[in-house]
Amino acid sequence: MVIWLTGMSGAGKTTICTALHDLLKPHLPELVLLDGDVIRRAFSQDLGFIESDRKVQIGRIQKLAKILSDQNLIVLVGALYAHPDLLSWNRQNLQPYFEVYVKASMSLLKERDSKGLYGSSAPNVVGVDIPWHEPTHSDLVIDADQLPNPASVAHDIARAVPRLAAKLSEIQQ
């Protein structure tokens, strides 16, 4: 299965994916984590950050997630770009699929801006000069502005995904 976390840069996708991975990996060896930034550094030296390159990047992550999921692995993905066509492809091709939208206000993103994207004149920033397509059919929405504890969010996600909920129940007994 694939659990796909999306949200703008700085929303907390990587932090939440890491918390979920740390919670479950000791009990689910078939759990793998694909972080968009890590995948970009490993495989996408040929891509920039323009919108068309972002689509190619997500396409690569989608294909990798499918290959791993088809081998009965549980794949956690943290990825920024959320064009409706790409998320629709996920629903049609990644089964079972669970989508989490980590929603954050621009003021929170600017406050957290560890990459220096929102306060600069850097080009090709999603949500600034590349449109952010807010997901409309996510299975779970996390409000990052409520400053949720990542470990607590990891438990919330695990409880919302039936395959993970059963394992979480086992762990807690």
pLDDT class of 3 with cuts at 50, 70, 90: very high
The pair of structure tokens assigned to 11 is: 């929303």
Which is nearest to 99 in space by CA: 134, 125, 64?
Answer: 134
| pLDDT band, very low/low/confident/very high, at 170 (cuts 50, 70, 90) | confident
d(CA 28, CA 15): 19
Please give the mean pLDDT across all residues of the chain: 91
Provide the whole-model pTM.
0.93
Mean pLDDT value across residues 57-76: 96
What is the Cα 82 distance to its own chain's centre? 10
What pLDDT is stored for residue 34 in this prediction?
97
Predicted pLDDT at 103? 97
